[in-house]
């Protein structure tokens, strides 16, 4: 891969907050139903909410269980979020030579 192109990409410090933006993703990734209050909290303190949710279930340690659930989940709704559009456009252009079809954020 050529390092001729690069992108500085800013994401929230706790990128896990993206998991709480779409109800379908929440249902696919979380081991138990998530209340509206926890979905809102998850946007601001996602690591705390994820820890609470995965401890309730008792399936194992949160990182390995979350990784398994993420691997099996349809995360297309997360990729459609406006925050990730510049990254998606960049990856499509650099990796596959496809020009961006969506406008990038300034």
Please say whether the beta carbons of 74 and 80 come within 8 A: no
DSSP assignment letter at 55:
H
Domain-located, residue 50: yes
Average pLDDT over residues 55-71: 75
Give this prediction's pTM.
Answer: 0.68
Quickly state the pLDDT bin for 3 (edges 50, 70, 90). Answer: low
Domain-located, residue 1: no
Range of the domain at 39: 15-96
Given a cut of 70, whether residue 91 has pLDDT beyond it is: yes
Q: Looking at 1-106, which runs of residues are DSSP E strands?
A: none
What is the number of other CB atoms lying within 10 angstroms of the CB of residue 6?
Answer: 8
Domain-located, residue 105: no
- For residue range 10-51, list pLDDT tens digits in order: 777 788 898 999 999 999 999 899 999 999 999 999 989 998
Return mean pLDDT, the chain: 81
How many domains does the chain fold into?
A: 1
Quickly state the pLDDT bin for 105 (edges 50, 70, 90). Answer: very low
């Amino acid at each position: 891969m050529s390092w001729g192109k690069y992108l500085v990409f800013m994401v929230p410090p706790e990128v896990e907050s993206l998991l709480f933006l779409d109800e379908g993703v929440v249902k696919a990734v979380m081991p138990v139903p998530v209340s509206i209050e926890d979905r809102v909290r998850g946007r601001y303190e996602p690591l705390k909410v994820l820890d609470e949710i995965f401890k309730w279930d008792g399936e194992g340690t949160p990182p390995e269980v979350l990784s398994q659930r993420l691997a099996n989940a349809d995360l297309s709704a997360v990729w459609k979020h406006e925050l990730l559009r510049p990254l998606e456009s960049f990856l499509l252009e650099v990796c596959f030579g496809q020009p961006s079809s969506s406008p990038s954020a300034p």
